[in-house]
Amino acid sequence: MSFLRKLSAIKTPPSENSPSGGVAHAVSGGGVLPVGVFCGEDAVEPDTLPGIREETPWGVVRVIRERLPLASLYGTACLEHVRSVDGAYLASFSRDPALSCFSPDDLLFVDTETTGLAGGTGTIAFLIGLGRIESESLLIEQFLLETFGYEHAALHAVHERVQQSGAIASFNGKSFDLPLLRTRWVMHRVPHATDMPHLDLLHGSRRQLGRSVTSHRLQVLEREILGYTREGDIPGHEIPEAYFDFLRTGESERLHTIVKHNRDDIVAMVALLARLHRRFHDIEPVHCAEEFLALATRAYEQRNWERCLRDASKSLFSTFHGKTASEAALLGARAARQLKQYDKAQRVLEHALSAFEHYAMPDVHLALAKLYEHQLGSVKDALFHAEKSQSAESTASYQRRMARLRL
């Protein structure tokens, strides 16, 4: 194809009443169209694509909308339970005090599908999914670039929704989705806020679930926490190439699969937030010692000594692993010492040693040596445990401790 013919094929997105349904390929805002991707004169019928075209003050967008009743189940999780999540939980879950004044109704759930996984100025979000609670439903809006020429209008439309919300919620969005969107907003000269409160469910779920799950990928959490397994889904690493195939050929079958993948990501975030909140507040049971340990760790960071001691004890008395038992005993003992409940500190530490007598626990012996020496006043017991704790502290500290106890 000649250069002039290629140049003539570059066109802006057609309006709703335009007779042309052709797929334009102009890359707005400096994006780079990969080699071999050229969509020119062959038309892609609009009714083969998901969603509808809409006119906006910034141009035409293609948007897919769905209202999902909050009474719906996602796996075994009821979406309606998200309404009970309070600002205090949002703030502690995200380690962001600014979220304490927000509720789930203020959150805008964001997920993007992109032309690459590395980010940077050459990566474009060709599908931007947004979800927010409205009345008794979850409103999902997905902005799809049927060509790159739709990007400018889509970015403006997304930014308008962001401005109308109080805070952002995402899964790994702090590291990927939001930096990418900010880059595209800058390139398209879209004014945007840079300091909105952001609830990243990846970081919060890592802290709350710890080692209780096999992975912290969203689809793993769906299976292991929400009891939901996707069928007919497209792997994330295949999404960029599937989109480029659509641009080359106009074949939209896999594009529908990508849209459903993005939609499920939005719903999964809402369901995950609801379930983690209920587990944290003992509304739904926690069955795993590793999750109790993660909850205890989180409580210790918040200086909630009673909750820490309770969850650490549950972890210790339900685990079958020496490593978990050692960590739980040490954490529970530290919380008990903060409460000046030295007998409870002694009990959890001694239980770890007796229940896992074949597992080396020099750190537990060191904690008991300190406890017996400084709080319980038993030099004999302190010396017994100190002799077994040499690898838990420096040689100089160990020698000073042994000299002191042998006086």
pLDDT at residue 11, as a whole number: 46
Which residue do the tokens 């978990």 mark?
A: 324
pLDDT at residue 287, as a whole number: 82
Report whether pLDDT(32) > 60: no
Question: Cα dist. 342→329, 378, 389 in Å?
Answer: 13, 13, 20
Dihedral pair phi/psi, residue 322, rounded to 5° = -60, -40
- Cα–Cα dist 13/16, whole Å: 9
Question: Is 133 exposed, middle or buried (CB count within 10 Å of its CB: 0-12, 13-18, 19+)?
Answer: buried
Confidence tier at 8 by pLDDT (50, 70, 90): very low
Higher local confidence (pLDDT), 388 or 7: 388
Mean pLDDT of the chain: 89
Q: What is the percentage of the chain residues whose pLDDT exceeds 90?
A: 83
Confidence tier at 24 by pLDDT (50, 70, 90): very low
Give per-residue pLDDT as tens, 71-85.
999 999 999 999 999
Q: What share of the chain is helix, strand, coil (3-state, %, to 5)?
A: 55, 15, 30
- For the question of whether the overall pTM of this predicted structure is more than 0.75, the answer is yes
Higher local confidence (pLDDT), 246 or 192: 246
pLDDT at residue 121, as a whole number: 75
Q: Which domains does the chain have, with CATH numbers?
A: 3-280 (3.30.420.10), 289-405 (1.25.40.10)
Give per-residue pLDDT as tens, 346-400.
999 999 999 998 899 999 999 999 999 999 999 999 999 999 999 999 999 999 9
Query: Mean pLDDT, to the nearest integer, of 274-301?
Result: 95
Report whether pLDDT(108) > 80: yes
- Cα–Cα dist 44/34, whole Å: 20
pLDDT at residue 298, as a whole number: 95
Report whether pLDDT(42) > 70: no
pLDDT at residue 117, as a whole number: 78
pLDDT at residue 195, as a whole number: 80
- Cα–Cα dist 175/183, whole Å: 13
Confidence tier at 131 by pLDDT (50, 70, 90): very high
Q: Which residues pair with 199 in a beta bridge?
A: 169
pLDDT at residue 46, as a whole number: 62
pLDDT at residue 2, as a whole number: 52
Give per-residue pLDDT as tens, 266-282.
999 999 999 999 999 99
Lowest mean pLDDT among 32-41, 86-95, 120-129, 272-281: 32-41
Please report which helix (H) or strand (E) contains residue 180, including its range: helix 177-187
Lowest mean pLDDT among 191-200, 207-216, 318-327, 398-407: 191-200
pLDDT at residue 295, as a whole number: 96
Give per-residue pLDDT as tens, 136-181.
999 999 999 999 999 999 999 999 999 999 999 999 999 999 999 9
Report whether pLDDT(21) > 80: no
